[in-house]
Amino acid sequence: MASATDARYGQKESSDQNFDYMFKILIIGNSSVGKTSFLFRYADDSFTPAFVSTVGIDFKVKTIYRNDKRIKLQIWDTAGQERYRTITTAYYRGAMGFILMYDITNEESFNAVQDWSTQIKTYSWDNAQVLLVGNKCDMEDERVVAGERGRQLSEHLGFEYFEASAKDNINVKQTFERLVDIICEKMSESLDAADPAVTGAKQGPQLTEQPAAPHQDCAC
Amino acid sequence: MDLSALEGLERESVLQVLQRDKVLRSLEEERIRRMRSDLQEIRRKGAKSFARQYSERTCARCQRPLGRLWDSGATCRGCSHRICSKCRITSSAHGWECTVCHAYRDLKIKSGEWFLEERAKKFPGGLDRHDTTGEKILKSYQNFSHIAIVPPTPPPFATVPSFNRSGGLQTSKPFTKSMENLFVSLTSHIKKISKSHNDVTADPALLTADSCSVYRKERRSQSDTAINWPFEVCTVECRRPSLSELLRQDRAEEGAESSPAYTDDDTSPGAELPLDKRGSVGSISVGDLGLLDPNVCRTGEIELGLGYSLGTSRLEVSVRACRNLPFGDPKRKKCHPCVKLHLLPDGSKLKTAVKRNTTDPVFNETLEFSMERPLLAGRTLQASVWHSGTLKRRVFLGEALLPLDGWNFEENLTQSARWHQLCPRTKTADIAVEQQNRGLLVRVRFSSSSSSPRQERRPADRPGGGTVLGQLTIQVTGTRNMVENLTKSPGCVNVSVRGLLSLPGGPRQSQEALLQEQGSGSLWSGRLEFSAVPAPGLQGASLELSLWDPAPQGPRPRLLGTARLEEASSWQRVQQTPARGMTLACPSRPAKPEGNIVQTRVTDSRAAGVPQHA
């Protein structure tokens, strides 16, 4: 859903250099769970009920103020359709955090969460931060995935969990802000661990025990 | 990954997104570059400086002396230097760090380098920040796209300077220390260079190794009157090794092929330097040498081969390679060089492809200028090397100027290839002006027997009865940039002018006269007269004027320079104004060191005739 107006908006945002750091976030999940709507609600505070399938990949830029820092977010919106999978997985590696989304009115999208999680493990870095989001929580009448099931699955996978609605603007901002926070935490951990005077450990590329993951030539 | 599975419109849509991403990334790149230079600044201000005698009892950052009991400083965890209490920044997690370590940590956060390091743990392929999928797709689809999404800028390459990556990933020691060690080892090299300055300037053999470059420098020195010895300055600049060269030397000396000089060895070269050595190079600071200033330090060489193909009337220039180029982007240690060729003053321009990430590019390209051989005279081939940076920003790396006058073109391009030293920029305009200014001012008068009553008719010399003979008078009225710098004392001018008039199918006439100074400055007078010159033949005539310094101490006179007048239109104008004569500027040609008149027949298309009243 890369329209010209969006591009213009993105450019204005993206040329803004007044920020401290930049995080890259990827939104993944089955087709039509509401990834694009979620992003539009967050970045533009807009919502349209019409469904337009995302072609391949798109992104938006938003700068937020969090923990006394201006953080620029480049949020990648991916196509859920299987046929775009090669494109979207190529972008996993550049992402610091993920929003894994399912539709609470769609059992299949919930069942696919496990697979998406495996994809993240395969293609992304080890400390990839993931939030599990059950979207469309405004449609309580049509709910087929109970909130409890979502919470249990997220615990099992080690993700944090939100139920949200892009349409009614529920938990959208909170989701992104929480994700930013946990990426910040990881960042501090990473830096402290990297400080050899603190850990005394030799720092360097650790030879991986397992052979390198496929798609090694891809990164973003 | 490829987009072949997608339909045309889908592909365009994706490529557009990737293009937007690319813009974003180059902006980010620029931001990080700025942050890095800021950090560099902080580090340079403080740091255990080699420019000063370093003592344990001073703070490594602010250089303040430390007390023995009170404010005695403490060792920073990051860089292991002794730091006074004012140069510490307390971070909540683990005590304090010195200002530089703190700034470095800050940079790691802000540039996102922490993430790259973390990621490298899982994908140790040594991925560059911008060696991305998007970049690859964009590149591969540039040619296929229907719409104009071909990036207007050269693709930004890896921002992360190699020292950072290696410092972050491969070594256990902190980055700051390794940088300082690098600087210390650099100074020892700098010292060597400073010693060799004298050798270079004193040894004329080094200077005359390439007659072309000598000529060029000579011209520079003449044009630039503000500096007494630009000759020397220029030479020294050319001889100065680049940072990359120093690093290479460093590497070679340490015998560490695998690790670059700036990654930490266990023994730092700085630690081995005795204190007095550090003191002795105290007067040189990094800033002085312009190592961080891309505009000051220009080094490197270029290998060029010149040939002329008579069959196709083309000047063929084989651009083979460059070596020891400076970094076009010193902060990121990047260099994407390309070579531009320009036939000065007004010829066409040609350019080689851009080689990426190298200071020793190999081009092996042959570029051709379509130009008649005689027109090459008086032109200069300018081979300039440029770094092709992001956002179309080009950084000048150096240039070599090859005057084509009397160039001995060889058949085989590869055989004729020679290394030329790259030099700092000479303004193109200057060259043109210089070339035009350098020469002789002569007043030429041709009085045919019909218009001059004093001239006797000599029927014997008129075979066929129709040929008009005349007298050609050449009066040298001044010189420009030919004699001034060569004759030291104005009172004792001892320069003669020799004229050689060649007529088509006729005999050569030679005349010689002594130049006499008139007043001060460059006003001279000397008169040459050629008699019995057939008027019709004048338009094909060639007059060569050479200036000689009789040089009593030498075995033979020394040639100072030659100038030529042989353009048909000039002669025509001379004939049209028989009574008054006209003043012409004869562009000069370089003096050959061996002192021979070069007999090659060249036409100068630029001999500009300026008619004046006598």
- Residue pLDDT, tens place only, A49-103: 888 888 889 999 999 998 888 999 999 999 998 888 888 888 888 899 999 999 9
* Percent of chain A predicted with pLDDT > 70: 80
CA distance A156 to chain B (A): 23
Cβ <8 Å between A218 and B1: yes
What does DSSP say about strands B469-480 and B88-90: parallel, antiparallel, or unpaired?
unpaired
The answer to whether residue B117 neighbours chain A at the CB level (below 8 Å) is yes
Q: Contact, B449 vs B469, CB < 8 A?
A: yes
Name the closest residue on chain B to residue A121, using Cα atoms. Answer: B122
Token duo for residue A207: 């030879």
Residue at token pair 């300077």: B161
- The per-residue pLDDT for B37 is 85
Sign, CA torsion A174/A175/A181/A184: negative
Element (H, E) at B361: none
Instruction: Using alpha carbons, select from A7, A130, A26 the residue that is nearest to residue A78.
Output: A26
Cα–Cα distance, B270 to B180 (Å, whole number): 8
The answer to whether residue B28 neighbours chain A at the CB level (below 8 Å) is yes
- The per-residue pLDDT for B80 is 75
If one compares B589 and B66, the residue with the highest pLDDT of the two is: B66
The answer to whether residue B173 neighbours chain A at the CB level (below 8 Å) is yes
Torsion of CA B356, B358, B359, B362, to 10 degrees: -80
A30 has pLDDT over 90: yes
In the three-class reduction of DSSP (H, G, I as helix; E, B as strand; rest coil), residue B336 is classed as coil
B231 has pLDDT over 60: no
Highest mean pLDDT among A31-35, B178-182, B471-475: A31-35
Q: Contact, B328 vs B306, CB < 8 A?
A: no
DSSP letter for each residue of B169-234: HT-SS-HHHHHHHHHHHHHHHHHHHHHHHHHHHH-HHHHTTSHHHHHHHHHHHHH--SSS-HHHHH
Give the pLDDT mean for B175-187. 50
Token duo for residue B520: 């001060």
The answer to whether residue B17 neighbours chain A at the CB level (below 8 Å) is yes
Cα–Cα distance, B304 to B553 (Å, whole number): 38
Name the closest residue on chain A to residue B126, using Cα atoms. Answer: A205
pLDDT bin (cut points 50, 70, 90) of residue A195 is: low
Mutant choice from B21, B30, B80, B104 vs A, greatest count of A C-beta within 10 A: B21
Residue at token pair 């030799």: A202
B26 has pLDDT over 70: yes
Token duo for residue B211: 């007659």
Cα-based distances in Å from B97 to A197, B74, B77, B89, B164: 11, 10, 7, 5, 19
Cα–Cα distance, A169 to A214 (Å, whole number): 38
Q: Contact, B313 vs B333, CB < 8 A?
A: no
- The per-residue pLDDT for B275 is 39
Instruction: Using alpha carbons, select from B166, B175, B191 the residue that is nearest to residue B105.
Output: B175
Cβ <8 Å between A205 and B121: yes
Cβ <8 Å between A203 and B114: no
Highest mean pLDDT among B12-21, B34-43, B72-81, B559-568: B12-21
Identify which of B20, B131, B134 has the shortest CB distance to residue A10: B20
Chain B CB contacts of A194 below 8 Å: 108, 114, 117, 168
Is residue B454 classed exposed, middle or buried when 0-12, 13-18 and 19+ CB atoms within 10 A define those classes?
A: exposed
Cβ <8 Å between B170 and A204: yes
Cα-only R_g, chain A: 18
- The per-residue pLDDT for A104 is 94
Give the pLDDT mean for B247-257. 41
If one compares B46 and B458, the residue with the highest pLDDT of the two is: B46
In the three-class reduction of DSSP (H, G, I as helix; E, B as strand; rest coil), residue A126 is classed as coil
The answer to whether residue B124 neighbours chain A at the CB level (below 8 Å) is yes
Token duo for residue A147: 């909130």
- The per-residue pLDDT for B465 is 46
Q: Lowest-confidence range among A61-65, B279-283, B356-360, B544-548?
A: B279-283
- The per-residue pLDDT for B474 is 79
- The per-residue pLDDT for A115 is 93
Give per-residue burial for B581-613: e unless 16+ CB within 10 Å, then b. bbbbbbbbbbbeeebeebeeebbbebbebeeee
The answer to whether residue B277 neighbours chain A at the CB level (below 8 Å) is no
Name the closest residue on chain B to residue A19, using Cα atoms. Answer: B110
DSSP letter for each residue of B557-579: PEEEEEEEE--HHHHHHHHHSTT
Question: Which tens digits make up the pLDDT trace of B426-436?
Answer: 544 444 444 44
In this structure, which amino acid lies at residue B63?
Q
- The per-residue pLDDT for B431 is 44
Give the pLDDT mean for A96-121. 94
Cα–Cα distance, B593 to B38 (Å, whole number): 50
CB pairs under 8 A between A and B: 138
B514 has pLDDT over 80: no
Strand order in the sheet with A97-103: A57-66, A69-78, A21-29, A97-103, A129-135, A160-163
Q: Lowest-confidence range among B295-299, B319-323, B568-572, B610-614?
A: B610-614
CA distance A105 to chain B (A): 29
Give the pLDDT mean for B308-323. 83
Residue at token pair 């969090």: A66
Highest mean pLDDT among B235-239, B291-295, B567-571: B567-571
What stretches of A112-158 show up as alpha helix (H) in DSSP?
Answer: 113-123, 147-157
Identify which of A86, A198, A220 has the shortest CB distance to residue B132: A220
Strand order in the sheet with B418-421: B362-370, B314-323, B301-309, B418-421
The answer to whether residue B2 neighbours chain A at the CB level (below 8 Å) is yes
Instruction: Using alpha carbons, select from B378, B384, B260, B404 the residue that is nearest to residue B325.
Output: B384
Name the closest residue on chain B to residue A95, using Cα atoms. Answer: B115
Question: Which tens digits make up the pLDDT trace of B127-165?
Answer: 555 456 667 677 666 544 444 344 444 444 444 444 444
Give the pLDDT mean for B258-272. 37
Cα–Cα distance, A199 to B1 (Å, whole number): 39
A107 has pLDDT over 90: yes
pLDDT bin (cut points 50, 70, 90) of residue B417 is: confident
State the angle between helix axes of B175-202 and B162-169 in degrees (0 to 180), rounded to the nearest 10: 140
Cα-based distances in Å from B340 to B216, B221, B375, B389, B423: 19, 25, 20, 15, 14
Cβ <8 Å between B20 and A11: yes
CA distance B168 to chain A (A): 7
For B7, other C-beta atoms within 10 Å of its C-beta total: 10
Give the pLDDT mean for B67-84. 76
Cα–Cα distance, A125 to A205 (Å, whole number): 13
Question: Which pTM does this prediction carry?
Answer: 0.43
- The per-residue pLDDT for B491 is 44
pLDDT bin (cut points 50, 70, 90) of residue A183 is: very high
CA distance A99 to chain B (A): 18
Chain B CB contacts of A94 below 8 Å: 132
Cα–Cα distance, B474 to B546 (Å, whole number): 13
The answer to whether residue B172 neighbours chain A at the CB level (below 8 Å) is yes
As separate numbers, helices (DSSP H) first and strands (DSSP E) second, chain B gives: 16, 22
Cβ <8 Å between A220 and B172: no
- The per-residue pLDDT for A175 is 94
Cβ <8 Å between B115 and A187: yes
B228 has pLDDT over 80: no
Cβ <8 Å between B13 and A55: yes
CA distance B224 to chain A (A): 44
Q: Lowest-confidence range among B94-108, B197-211, B456-470, B569-583?
A: B197-211
In the three-class reduction of DSSP (H, G, I as helix; E, B as strand; rest coil), residue A196 is classed as helix
Cβ <8 Å between A191 and B171: no
Count of positions (residues) in chain A = 220
B479 has pLDDT over 60: yes
Q: Lowest-confidence range among A85-99, A180-194, B91-105?
A: B91-105
Identify which of A14, A195, A212 has the shortest CB distance to residue B24: A14
Cβ <8 Å between B14 and A57: yes
A138 has pLDDT over 90: yes
Cα–Cα distance, B487 to B227 (Å, whole number): 18
B591 has pLDDT over 70: no
In the three-class reduction of DSSP (H, G, I as helix; E, B as strand; rest coil), residue A59 is classed as strand
Q: Contact, B151 vs B19, CB < 8 A?
A: yes
* Percent of chain A predicted with pLDDT > 90: 55
**What mean pLDDT is reported for chain B?**
63
B454 has pLDDT over 80: no
- The per-residue pLDDT for A34 is 93
- The per-residue pLDDT for A131 is 94
DSSP letter for each residue of B467-486: PPEEEEEEEEEEEESSSTTT
The answer to whether residue B74 neighbours chain A at the CB level (below 8 Å) is no
Cβ <8 Å between A56 and B13: yes
Give the pLDDT mean for B507-521. 67
Question: Which tens digits make up the pLDDT trace of A151-170?
Answer: 999 999 999 999 999 999 99
B90 has pLDDT over 90: no
DSSP letter for each residue of B154-182: PPP---S-HHHHHHHHT-SS-HHHHHHHH
Write out the E strands in chain A: 21-29, 57-66, 69-78, 97-103, 129-135, 160-163
Token duo for residue B270: 């700085």
Name the closest residue on chain A to residue B116, using Cα atoms. Answer: A94
If one compares B467 and B417, the residue with the highest pLDDT of the two is: B417
CA distance B4 to chain A (A): 11
